[in-house]
Amino acid sequence: MDVRRMRLRAGLSQRQLADLTGIAQPNISAYESGRLIPSPATLARVAKATGVRPSALLAQMRDDIMAVAARHHASNVRVFGSVATGSDTPSSDLDLLVHFSDEASLYDQVGLTRELEDLLGVSVDVVSDGAAGVDRIKHAVAV
């Protein structure tokens, strides 16, 4: 994701984006010029402030999401809900259906949820496919 593109698409000045995100305006300028590389958390803050949909975050940060899932013993990551149907809005959450390995614990599910929320800057619901209803599994789409 490109900070400048998101800002311009939202019709914001650098100062306005700085006010909305709490990121210093000189840093926004440095991100846009390539002098600094924004962290995933910074990109998520910009995305949220500029109205980027969770589906766009998912598409852009897929590899990061998969790495976080693997650290928490989760695989076969799928999406369901509004992101899966393409009806998500900037205020939508991200609903993920995952398979946890036998060594995973409740701490992994909670940790995965929190780490993804920090990474993406949106609310995330993580559901284990062992606990999910058939309807959720049937409508889930691979990430």
Q: What is the pLDDT of residues 30-51, one digit of tens each?
A: 999 999 999 888 988 898 899 8
Beta strands 124-128 and 94-100, pairing class: parallel
Q: What dotted CATH number matches 58-142?
A: 3.30.460.10
**What is the pLDDT confidence band of residue 134, given thresholds at 50, 70 and 90?**
low
Interval 108-124 mean pLDDT: 91
> What does the domain layout of the chain look like in residue ranges?
3-51, 58-142
Q: How far apart are CA 58 and CA 65, in angstroms?
A: 8
Among all chains, which residue has been given the structure tokens 């929320």? 117
Beta strands 141-142 and 74-80, pairing class: antiparallel
Q: Which helix (H) or strand (E) segment is 90 a member of?
A: none
Interval 119-131 mean pLDDT: 87
Q: What dotted CATH number matches 3-51?
A: 1.10.260.40
pLDDT score for 43: 86
Q: E strands along 32-93, which residues? A: 74-80
For residue 138, what are the CA distances in angstroms to 76, 95, 102, 105, 135? Answer: 14, 14, 23, 25, 5
Kindly tell me if the per-residue pLDDT of 100 is higher than 90: yes
